[in-house]
């Protein structure tokens, strides 16, 4: 267990950061140290050569100025004695006077090393001096690496020949540089340890939100999405933490929405399944009439489930970027076309054409037709027979003062209570349950999705007992703008439901708007569909124009 933990630490981002810092720092320190010692070494060697070159000048000066009393040397030995008395060796320097090939004179001062005791060195010096010129060389002697100079000495009238030899112990001279580099290396190693500890601590604090993110993600489950990462500071990592918390909020909302959707779908699908199962269990297979009745009930319930799946699939598509395909559309022509289509929905209502907005906008005419007809169908469902339903469009100004166009439907039906108006656009919400009015509770949700896909909204004005006015409001100033990128809360769960390939609605159900409109939207065709004409005047002789007058209403003007 301990080895696994150490392996995890060794592979962690924190360790990688610290190791990277240490490697770069160590590399920089090493390069700096090597360059420094190289420069210092070359400087020391240059100083040795400079001092050796000055030795030849000192010998010439002794030959021309003489000793302390001013007496000029008369022999080679005198000159060498005068030179050794005047030139005091440095700390790591030694000298020797050679006469006729033998070491004859050494300084009286204490020397760090002696040259007259090294035969190999003397042999090298004698070999270099055969040319009679000043020679500078390097040799590995018993005392170490020596850098030397050989100065030939001669006095006119003296048959003897002499050599003044001075040598520096290069190893000893460079020892200070090596000691300095050793000290530098020790200090650098200590600095690396300190940098590693500081880097480990700082990286740990900086990566703490990421560790919290990992631990929080490990604790998050489908049943509990409430975990959040504590935020502290204002740096980039803190901003990342805030972003992740925002993402978790969206995920939680999405999962909650999916959960609600599953509950809603399971509830809505359970009813027809229960009905079919109950009739099949009670059906007497030997009674043909009962079998036919049960079959009709089962088919009717399956058709209702089919329409439900179609509507759910449409809601899923409304979250796709290509749900609407806008093009320049004449709103006046669209209004007249929708009025013509709506007039085929019900022969028990007077369909009036109200105000018409003379404006052109970039919209998806097919989708708007679908949503508009859904509003018209709802108006027909919840309005008493022989009452007028008015369809129109108008240019308005929204709350921010921007121009907008409204595509509205006005009825004189039952109206909607104030406490219900805020939730009728939710999925599977119906104002009247169990009163024999067909519908899945998804119609207004689809209308709202179509409006949102156009960057618009659905407006509702209703008074209980006085009818309702539904309007799809589209901002004229931004109808060409891209669809808003909102969080798709239901896509994953609903997509699984929408994958069912529904059976196309039958021709006998052409008057059902939920099916007819769904077909119209899937075809993406704005042309009127083929329906059997339904006359406005029925066999009982009811004349709608005589009851309500000509259809010249203005939508809001007829509201009470």
**Cross-strand pairs, 470:** 409, 460
Rounded to an integer, what distance in angstroms lies between the CA atom of residue 453 and that of residue 318?
7
- Residue length, the chain? 560
Question: What is the DSSP track for 380-407?
Answer: HHTS-TT-EEEEEEEEEE-TTS-EEEEE
**CATH code of 375's domain:** 3.30.565.10
* pLDDT, tens digit, 9 for 90 and up, residues 216-233: 778 777 667 777 877 777
Instruction: Decide if 294 is inside a domain.
Output: yes
Q: How confident is the model at residue 236 (pLDDT cuts 50, 70, 90)?
A: confident
DSSP strand pairing (360-363 vs 144-153)? unpaired
DSSP element (H, E) containing 139: strand 135-141
Indicate the residue among 297, 319, 341 that finishes a domain.
319
Residue with structure tokens 């939207």? Answer: 521
Rounded to an integer, what distance in angstroms lies between the CA atom of residue 106 and that of residue 115?
9
Task: Work out whether the CA dihedral 257, 263, 266, 268 comes out positive or negative.
Answer: negative
Rounded to an integer, what distance in angstroms lies between the CA atom of residue 164 and that of residue 179?
32
Rounded to an integer, what distance in angstroms lies between the CA atom of residue 131 and that of residue 151?
11
Q: Are residues 145 and 165 in the same domain?
A: yes
CA angle 26, 28, 29 (to 5 degrees): 65
Between residues 8 and 455, the one the model is more confident about? 455
Q: Are 121 and 146 in contact (CB under 8 A)?
A: yes
Q: Are 145 and 138 in contact (CB under 8 A)?
A: yes
**CATH code of 131's domain:** 3.30.450.20
Q: Are residues 169 and 228 in the same domain?
A: no
Residue with structure tokens 């070494």? Answer: 41
Q: Are 358 and 382 in contact (CB under 8 A)?
A: no
Question: Is the pLDDT at 5 greater than 90, yes or no?
Answer: no
Percentage of the chain lying above the pLDDT 70 cut: 76
DSSP strand pairing (135-141 vs 162-169)? unpaired
Instruction: Decide if 524 is inside a domain.
Output: no
Q: Measure CA 433 to chain center.
A: 47
Distances (CA, A) of 528 to 368, 373, 399, 457: 14, 12, 35, 25
Give the model's pLDDT for residue 527: 35
Rounded to an integer, what distance in angstroms lies between the CA atom of residue 352 and that of residue 389?
6
* pLDDT, tens digit, 9 for 90 and up, residues 263-315: 666 766 776 788 788 888 888 888 888 888 888 888 887 887 787 777 677 76
Instruction: Decide if 298 is inside a domain.
Output: yes
Instruction: Decide if 280 is inside a domain.
Output: yes
Q: Are residues 315 and 330 in the same domain?
A: no
* pLDDT, tens digit, 9 for 90 and up, residues 87-123: 888 888 899 999 888 888 888 778 888 888 888 888 9
Q: Are residues 155 and 231 in the same domain?
A: no
Q: Are residues 283 and 337 in the same domain?
A: no
**Cross-strand pairs, 461:** 469
DSSP element (H, E) containing 322: none
Between residues 220 and 535, the one the model is more confident about? 220
How many domains are there within the chain?
3
CA angle 44, 45, 47 (to 5 degrees): 65
* pLDDT, tens digit, 9 for 90 and up, residues 351-407: 999 999 999 999 999 889 988 998 998 888 888 888 999 999 999 988 888 899 999
Taking alpha carbons only, the member of 23, 22, 31 closest to residue 195 is 22
The count of other CB atoms within 10 Å of the CB of residue 496 is: 12
Q: Are residues 80 and 115 in the same domain?
A: yes
Give the model's pLDDT for residue 195: 94
Q: Are 269 and 500 in contact (CB under 8 A)?
A: no
* pLDDT, tens digit, 9 for 90 and up, residues 151-184: 998 888 888 888 999 999 998 888 888 899 999 9
Q: Are residues 21 and 142 in the same domain?
A: yes
Average pLDDT, the chain: 77
Q: Are residues 26 and 108 in the same domain?
A: yes
Instruction: Decide if 377 is inside a domain.
Output: yes
Phi, psi of 183 (to 5 degrees): -60, -40
Indicate the residue among 178, 209, 239 that finishes a domain.
178
Per DSSP, helices labelled H in 283-330 are 288-317
Domain that holds residue 245: 220-319
Q: Which residues contact 18 (CB under 8 A, 6 or more apart)?
A: 196, 199, 200, 203
Distances (CA, A) of 410 to 74, 369, 378, 414, 512: 139, 16, 11, 12, 20
In the structure encoding, which two tokens stand for residue 196, read together? 């590693």
**CATH code of 267's domain:** 1.10.287
Q: Are residues 363 and 468 in the same domain?
A: yes
The count of other CB atoms within 10 Å of the CB of residue 548 is: 16
Q: Are residues 290 and 348 in the same domain?
A: no
Instruction: Decide if 190 is inside a domain.
Output: no
Rounded to an integer, what distance in angstroms lies between the CA atom of residue 375 and that of residue 370?
9
CA angle 244, 250, 251 (to 5 degrees): 85
């Amino acid at each position: 267990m301990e080895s696994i933990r150490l392996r995890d630490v060794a592979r962690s981002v924190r360790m990688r950061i610290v190791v990277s810092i240490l490697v770069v720092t160590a590399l920089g320190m090493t390069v700096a140290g090597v360059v420094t010692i190289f420069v210092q070494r070359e400087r020391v060697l240059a100083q040795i050569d400079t001092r050796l070159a000055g030795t030849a000048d000192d010998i010439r000066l002794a030959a021309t100025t003489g000793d302390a009393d001013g007496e000029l040397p008369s022999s080679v030995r005198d000159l060498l004695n005068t030179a050794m008395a005047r030139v005091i060796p440095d700390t790591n320097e030694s000298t020797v006077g050679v006469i006729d090939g033998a070491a004859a004179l050494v300084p009286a001062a204490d020397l760090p090393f002696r040259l007259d005791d090294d035969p190999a060195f003397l042999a090298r010096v004698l070999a270099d001096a055969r040319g009679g010129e000043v020679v500078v060389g390097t040799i590995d002697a018993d005392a170490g690496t020596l850098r030397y100079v050989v100065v030939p000495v001669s006095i006119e009238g003296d048959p003897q020949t002499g050599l003044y030899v001075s040598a520096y112990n290069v190893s000893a001279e460079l020892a200070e540089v090596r000691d300095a580099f050793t000290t530098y290396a020790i200090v650098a190693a200590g600095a690396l340890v300190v940098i590693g500890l500081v880097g480990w601590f700082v990286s740990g604090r900086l990566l703490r939100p990421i560790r919290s993110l990992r631990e929080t993600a490990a604790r998050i489950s489908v049943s509990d999405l409430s975990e959040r990462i504590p935020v502290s500071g204002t740096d980039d990592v803190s901003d990342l933490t805030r972003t992740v918390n925002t993402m978790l909020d969206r995920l939680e909302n999405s999962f909650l929405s999916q959960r609600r959707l599953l509950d809603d779908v399971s509830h809505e699908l359970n009813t027809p399944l229960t009905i079919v199962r109950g009739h099949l269990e009670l059906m007497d297979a030997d009674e043909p009439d009962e079998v036919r009745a049960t079959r009709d009930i089962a088919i009717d319930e399956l058709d209702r489930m089919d329409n439900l799946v179609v509507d759910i699939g449409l809601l899923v598509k409304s979250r796709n970027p290509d749900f609407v395909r806008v093009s320049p559309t004449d709103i006046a022509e669209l209004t007249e076309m929708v009025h013509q289509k709506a007039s085929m929905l019900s022969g028990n209502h007077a369909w009036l054409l109200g105000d018409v907005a003379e404006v052109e906008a970039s919209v998806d005419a097919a989708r708007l037709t679908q949503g508009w007809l859904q509003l018209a169908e709802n108006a027909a469902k919840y309005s008493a027979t022989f009452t007028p339903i008015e369809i129109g469009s108008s240019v308005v100004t929204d709350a921010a003062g921007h121009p907008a166009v409204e595509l509205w439907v006005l009825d004189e039906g039952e109206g909607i209570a104030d406490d219900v108006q805020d939730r009728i656009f939710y999925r599977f919400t119906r104002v009247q349950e169990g009163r024999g009015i067909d519908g899945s509770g998804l119609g207004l949700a689809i209308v709202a999705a179509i409006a949102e896909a156009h960057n618009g909204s659905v407006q509702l004005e209703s008074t209980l007992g006085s009818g309702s006015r539904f309007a799809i409001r589209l901002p004229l100033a931004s109808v060409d703008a891209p669809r808003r990128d909102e969080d798709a809360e239901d896509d994953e769960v609903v997509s699984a439901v929408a994958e069912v390939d529904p059976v196309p609605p039958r021709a006998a159900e052409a008057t059902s708007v939920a099916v007819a409109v769904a077909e119209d939207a899937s075809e993406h065709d704005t042309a009127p569909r083929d329906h059997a004409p339904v006359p406005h005047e029925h066999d009982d002789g009811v004349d709608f124009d005589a009851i309500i007058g000509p259809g010249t209403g203005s939508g809001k003007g007829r509201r009470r």
